[in-house]
Amino acid sequence: MHHPVPDEVSAAVRERRPALDRLSLDLHGVPETRFEEHYAAEQLTDRLAAAGFEVDKGVAGLPTAFTATHRGATDGPTIAVLLEYDALPGIGHGCGHNLIAAGGLTAALAAAAVHPGHPGTLKVIGTPGEEGGGGKILMLERGAFEGVDAAVMFHPADRSLRARHALAASHLRLTFHGVAAHAAKAPWDGRSAAAGAQLFLTAVDSMRQFIPPTARVHGIVTHGGDAPNVVPERAELDIYVREATSASLDQLLVRVLAAAEGAALATGTTVEHAETAPRYTERNNNMVMADRLAEYTAGLGLELEPPSPANPAGSSDIGNVSVEIPVIHPYVQICPRDTPGHSAKMREAARTPEAHDAAEAVAVGLAALVLDLLGDPGFLTAVREEFGASASAADLCQELS
């Protein structure tokens, strides 16, 4: 049965639809990569301050992170709406974060306008650097989520889902060191770092038959040498290693790093490794919140499918937040099914009227959900109980592995 959205919530979002479109298109036209989102952060915080939110910029030591707080008339929980606004290098908003920012902001402004005297505290948290930077993880570690009882956001996609599993991920940088020499006159005096990198990639390909189907290992060569006639003394690769859980990721990393050491040994080189971003955990989706949101959006013509193992998974820094507090990260369709994410097609879809229709619908649902979380203690208790049960189950799985 559809849970009806209060009329005043729908009206408040509809009234802000022109502003949603303008902001989304503005951010889409000024794509900024991870931790460089100065224009986006300014646009968002200006609008929040104008609506009476108390804005703090540069939180958690990140210049483009922020919080905006709307305090209610009475004591109560703290509920956060999370915004993302970074773009992809070379592609722009091929992940649609302009919609996350504009839609999430609209939901928060509408909720505060409909019920300015709400119990508790409504927070908007601006989380930069999701694309490979782990901004939410840094903010979590530095206390930006302290006191938050639950957090909500949404993500554009090629399908509409209440929830989707996400993989734990390590952002690995491997640097092979060799010995430079003239590649024609005396190659025997050299040791090729590029050969070490090449052999490592071959070793990873040889492993693929013998790693779980949930695992992903992929990456690029970011440096392969300086000149064709010089034996490369340095080669560098950026590799993402992903698995279904943090425990299984740890086990896979041992094998990947052993392959790197073996490639170095075989080529007379050495290799060092580092992680270029905080470790992403798997995602713990709170289905009590997700199902309530789906009830709201169904009444608006936006059907959110239940989660399914058939839906492909990536990784996101929301996972680290999700194991600490209840969160939702539903997906809203803005393009034909199976359109690749992080692509020019997705970028173009993220600026269409259809995408803004979807953002409006989910903003209505999120605004209603936020007001439920703030004003209905029984509902928040159910959210917390599910979170406690899922966290206990995850701890048990970790022990067994």
At 180-205, the pLDDT tens digits run 999 999 999 999 999 999 999 999 99
Average pLDDT, the chain: 95
Among 385, 394, 165, which Cα is nearest to 285's?
A: 165
At 120-165, the pLDDT tens digits run 999 999 999 999 899 999 999 999 999 999 999 999 999 999 999 9
The answer to whether 69 and 123 have CB atoms below 8 angstroms apart is yes
Taking residues 347-361, report their average pLDDT.
98
Predicted pLDDT at 309: 85
Which residue intervals of 78-126 are DSSP H helices? 97-114
Among 322, 310, 351, which Cα is nearest to 95's?
A: 351
At 204-258, the pLDDT tens digits run 999 999 999 999 999 999 999 999 999 999 999 999 999 999 999 999 999 999 9
Domains of the chain: 7-165+280-400 (3.40.630.10), 168-275 (3.30.70.360)
The answer to whether 24 and 351 have CB atoms below 8 angstroms apart is yes
CA distance 52 to 117: 13
End-to-end CA, the chain: 40
Strand partners, 170: 241
